Amino acid sequence: MRYRKGYVALSDERDVPVLVLIRNARAITFDQICALATMEGGESSRRSVCWRLKRLEDCELIRRMTYDRFFSQPIFAITPLGLQFLEFRGYSLLSLPSTAKSIVRKSQILHSVELVGIRVALTQKGLLKSWRWELEIVSRNLVYETGKMKDYDALAEIAVDGSTKCVAIEFERTLKGSGRYEELRSIFSADQGADCVLYLTPNSEILYILALEMRNVGKRIGFALSSTFQSELLDASILTNSAANEVITFRQFLFE
């Protein structure tokens, strides 16, 4: 078969999964793409990932964000053309159509990169059975759910020694107003979409304020520093919303 001049052949097996990953993450670094593409996407090496990203960038399906000058490596996001391509291939999201005015805001970049780091850490240790990004959760809630349902930052199925728990992950980079936490307490108490909620924060101050705000919630909630959690995982110290505010390991938080 002869292709017209300028045609670029893109693979459903290799190119599409990378595009879906970049779209769902909103913003993702080069190293993070390499890690997930080699562990989950069938790529054989960083070199092959780099070659694939260059092709997608040359086709204007993804772009490097100008914000990445503050990072030691590029940060990628999908473009409107990339969204159109995925929709054409049957990978559409109600939460992020190709007609969206904004794909990723500056305020979302650090938040998104941190969440990808959490997924990478869980994947590297072989703990992650499945992962749903916020965009996927929002799309599902728009279709199937009624009433107030929490659009979590991520839903992770974590498997340890044959047992699996569904953990809702929230990364709190900055604090919200007290009215919003009052609303969240009600939502968490009613939610049945996750076995427990894990709040990860960049510093201790936010962590302890969150723990105070989430007292007396009818759901198991844990709080930890994101950097500590990513490095220690099952052994990471988790502050709980129990009456005694006990500190236990993440393994205990999941299964006790």
Query: In this predicted model, what pLDDT tens digit does every residue of 55-100 receive, in sequence order?
Result: 999 999 999 987 666 778 899 999 999 999 999 999 999 999 999 9
Query: In this predicted model, what pLDDT tens digit does every residue of 123-147 receive, in sequence order?
Result: 999 999 999 999 999 998 888 765 5
Do both 13 and 48 map to the same domain?
yes
Do both 92 and 154 map to the same domain?
no
Q: State the Cα–Cα distance between residues 98 and 108, nearest whole angstrom.
A: 18
**pLDDT given at position 192:** 83
3-state secondary structure of 133: strand
Structural domain including 94 reads 8-116
Do both 110 and 169 map to the same domain?
no
pTM of the model: 0.91
**pLDDT given at position 83:** 97
Do both 255 and 207 map to the same domain?
yes
Q: In this structure, is residue 106 part of a structural domain?
A: yes
**pLDDT given at position 41:** 72
Q: State the Cα–Cα distance between residues 93 and 209, nearest whole angstrom.
A: 34
**pLDDT given at position 53:** 94
Q: State the Cα–Cα distance between residues 22 and 25, nearest whole angstrom.
A: 5
**pLDDT given at position 138:** 93
**pLDDT given at position 66:** 79
Number of domains present in the structure of the chain: 2
CB half-sphere exposure, 238, CA atoms < 13 A: 27
Do both 175 and 55 map to the same domain?
no
**pLDDT given at position 150:** 83
CB burial of residue 152 (10 Å; 0-12, 13-18, 19+): buried
Q: Point out the residues of the chain with pLDDT beneath 70.
A: 1-8, 67-69, 145-149
